[in-house]
Chains A and B, each alone.
Chain A
Amino acid sequence: MSNATVKELSELLARKACSSVELSHDFINKINELNNSLGCYITVDAERTLAQAKAADARRAAGDAGALTGVPLAHKDIFCTKGWLTTCGSKMLGNFVAPYDAHVVERCAAEGMVTLGKTNMDEFAMGSSNETSHFGPVRNPWDPQRVPGGSSGGSAAAVAARLAPAATGTDTGGSIRQPAALTGICGLKPTYGLVSRYGMIAFASSLDQAGPMARTAEDLGLLLNVMAGHDARDSTSLQRPAEDYNRDLAKPLKGLRIGLPKEFFGAGMSADVQKATDAAIAECKKLGAVPVEVSLPNMGLSVPVYYVLAPAEASSNLSRFDGVRYGHRAAEYGDLLDMYKRSRAEGFGAEVKRRILIGTYVLSHGYYDAYYIRAQKLRRLIARDFVEAFKTCDVILGPTSPTTAFKFGEKSADPVQMYLSDIYTIAVNLAGLPGMSIPCGFGDGGLPVGLQIIGNYFDEARMLNVAHQYQLATDWHRKAPGGVQS
């Protein structure tokens, strides 16, 4: 059953072919069996999970079930979950039991979905390999010597390894899409503002967006239907009429204009990724889509711009972790200043500290205009490029990641090398656009390759349509890593 999609599970539950308690048991058993080697979850709590499953079954019995009532899922450990340890992958929050639920968690709970646990992640979502987690590495189920990507690496690996049918993730510069690509699953970062950030521990507030991770496009739509919606507690949460993101799944792709940015297909992409991406585009053409060359002339600057803006916001967002009201406080310290400095030096890992320092520096007196303001201006240029591009195309296709999953330690010595892993995904966050990644084949060593689909603002339904039609014609998304098939 753990190989079933969300959609299939919801049908099984609706048919009463299985109960949520049975389903949850299966997943918990599987987690117990594999989590030690894969490291997907930071926290599991079978008792709580089964209590939720029981309640979901009761709801079904009472005829009070939603589409996904009783379906289990995993939450990235960036979401506050009341009563659960919520670490954000950091020693700083190693003992933090959240006193409230994030909006996303509330929505999933209101639907009757069952929490399987909290997934591992790069510390404070800062990383592209899950190597910055305080709670150890997550191994890529396709090759345990390789990273699952990051920062939602635990969620991605859990879904790929069938330790969860779906999971929540967050994406600030590619943190849903890149790990989805590297683990052969699907992940969607919605338009900024569609999903509330309330209760999602902030990394870079103007870029952060939560989204679903699952094995099919259709599952993503089902989950997005649950996760999206206005929340008055987030000032950037949009007020829009509710929509069914799966409403257009069946539309044929005939005449669909797929934009191919020339900047995506230049140097930098590895040959195997290029090959799989080209094949996916050819498949879309076969389905009736029409390729259009577009240009995103400023995309090359998205990585430098991002590495000014995101650390700047992060340096401020992470100031609240001072060891006063919650979180890590150094065991030994002198005065107040010393307490701050030691608690933060001990509580944060190297990458987080690096980004705090970058952010502090670019905001400091004398550098603000040269770095921060300039980056914000370039951000506008990058966003404008997309507006121009979408005048001539309906969706943009390209690679999600320049390479397939890399080995542990391969990029961690050089931050810039690591940062360039997100070269294709970052611009989407800067613009606030929706983007997704779906499996589109395998590269060298049988490692999954992800196809990135970028849509115009609020065009999630169309993106899901494209992905679904592609998945009807291909079976990449059905492939499971060896050793975890059920």
Chain B
Amino acid sequence: MSAKWEVVIGLETHAQLSTASKIFSGAPTAFGAEPNTQACGVDIALPGVLPVLNTGAVERAIRFGLAVGAKINSPSIFARKNYFYPDLPKGYQISQYEKPIVEGGTLTIQVGESEKTVRLTRAHLEEDAGKSLHEDFSGRSGIDLNRAGTPLLEIVSEPDMRSAEEAVAYARTLHTLVRWIDVCDGNMQEGSFRCDANVSVRLLGSKEFGTRREIKNLNSFRFLQQAIDYEVQWQISEIEDGRKIQQATVLFDPDSGETRMMRTKEDAHDYRYFPDPDLLPLEVSAERLAAVRAAMPELPEARRSRYMKEYLLSSYDASLITQSREWSEYFELAFQVLNADDKMVAAKHVVNWMSGELAAYLNRQEIDITRSVVSAPALGMLLKRNADGTLNNKMTKEVFAAMCAGEQGGDPDAIIAARGLKQISDSGEIEKIVDQVLAANAQQVADFRAGREKAFNSLVGQAMKATKGKANPQQVNEILRRKLSG
């Protein structure tokens, strides 16, 4: 990209709210059921049926609003967005238009080493549509309405992002947050979290925004990055070739890596929004707001800063263990069990293990931390045994491997006992062994005394070997040095 262009990106994110039932009906929201088996009369819009709002969806929207410091509107208004599409059974989507439940708010993102605040415009409740399946039904499309009526929170950002990297960082931070506060399961393959990106370019220093094109339905961070990168290049080359950008909606094709036009503004719909007469204004009482606030967990950003302040963790380390609520909870639990006097050392100890051995294990197994065979308390206990000198580092790794294999039900103490791995820290016993080593290795002793430091290492090795690695290496060092200088 030539340096004179500035990219402007705003994101609209659809987060599927993790309710048991749909936003306006009592049908289940579970993913993957047989077609149309989770579409009740309301979802398929039988004549005469009516919507009734799910309190679970409202509560999640409020939780999100509070988490981003937004205003919770009371009342907020449900409106009908009218258009015809086979996956939209009523011929309108119930959404919030003029008065969304969540207004304003911000999200702080990390881009490289720097921090940036992205402003949110709004977040509103709406229902999802069904799915058109394009497999061949003798040249026809099949409509599955299981997804119709699934609750969505559409989160709209201001056009505050200036690169694909920032857009991805925003999407990731948002993804972490919605999972953290338990409003969305974040499953991108299943479409529970998907982004539309509004992209435009303008000459650096220009006050006015360029004409934007909206890239629809990006369901992975990689596609988000690729789609924006492609779109930016395309827009710049269009302008540089003397063409004007037309406002349009485009689709990203992951196979070609390109975006392609879906419709221009000219054939944009006239949605004829109006307040839904079936749904009265949604009010959020002060008590309800207070209750949701009281039940709010510590948020990732707050926790991250706290870790950096209290445990002096680096920004990188703190981000690593606040990448999700699960990672953070794992850390907290392991840290509690480790229960060391020096909190900073202990925290760093846990972080190192989580980012090292544990992450490697999870990667190898291709599993999520919630599925780890090594539980957080077990890891904490293992590290405690390392800190109290029961295990040296080598042994600790051995026990960890055994824990990963599920040995002894993953209990580190049981593994230590079964494998007889207890470190020898009894100085009397170590002295005895050192004496034997010195006696048996007269040549090395002579070499050392002649000033060859290397011989010392060899003697330590002999002592460790004699204890099958169980001796506390630090003690072996000290005793050996004392005896040799004696």
Partner-B contacts on A (CB < 8 A): 79-80, 86, 88, 93, 96, 98-100, 102, 197-202, 204-206, 232-236, 312-313, 315-316, 318-322, 324-326, 336, 340, 360, 363-365, 368, 372
Contact = CB atoms under 8 A, between A and B. Distances in A.
B31 to A, nearest CB: 22
Nearest to A340: B84
B33 interface: no
Mostly, the A contact residues are loop
Contacts of A363: 82, 272-274
A468 to B, nearest CB: 32
A360 B272 contact: yes
B344 interface: no
A252 to B, nearest CB: 39
Contacts of B270: 364-365
A88 B49 contact: no
B47 A86 contact: yes
A8 to B, nearest CB: 32
B91 A80 contact: no
Interface string B267-301: 00010111001111000000000000000000000
B89 interface: yes
A88 B48 CA distance: 11
Interface string B33-56: 000000001001111111111000
19 contacts: A98-B46, A99-B41, A198-B48, A202-B278, A234-B52, A235-B50, A235-B52, A236-B278, A319-B84, A319-B92, A320-B89, A322-B91, A325-B46, A325-B89, A363-B272, A365-B270, A365-B272, A368-B272, A368-B274
B141 to A, nearest CB: 8
A369 B349 CA distance: 64
B91 A319 contact: yes
B401 interface: no
Contact of A197 (B45, B50, B143): B50
B80 interface: yes
B48 A316 contact: no
A234 B51 CA distance: 7
Nearest to B271: A365
A316 B278 contact: no
Contacts of B45: 320, 325
A93 B277 contact: no
Contacts of A315: 82, 272
Contacts of B50: 197-198, 233-235
A280 to B, nearest CB: 34
Interface in B125-161: 143
B119 interface: no
B216 interface: no
A319 B274 contact: no
Contacts of B89: 320, 324-325
A262 B216 CA distance: 59
B279 A100 contact: no
A21 B44 CA distance: 38
Contacts of B377: none
B277 A205 contact: yes
B44 A325 contact: yes
B33 to A, nearest CB: 18
A236, A313, A324: which has the most chain B beta carbons within 10 Å? Answer: A324
Contact of A199 (B49, B82, B90, B92): B49
Contacts of A321: 47
A413 B202 CA distance: 59
A100 B52 contact: no
B278 to A, nearest CB: 5
A79, A96, A198: which has the most chain B beta carbons within 10 Å? Answer: A198
Nearest to A363: B272
A372 B272 CA distance: 11
Contact of A88 (B47, B53, B92, B273): B47
A316 B47 contact: no
A99 B46 contact: yes
Nearest to A205: B277
Nearest to A313: B277
Contacts of B46: 80, 98-100, 325-326
Contact of A235 (B48, B53, B272, B273): B53
A114 to B, nearest CB: 22
B48, B86, B143: which has the most chain A beta carbons within 10 Å? Answer: B48
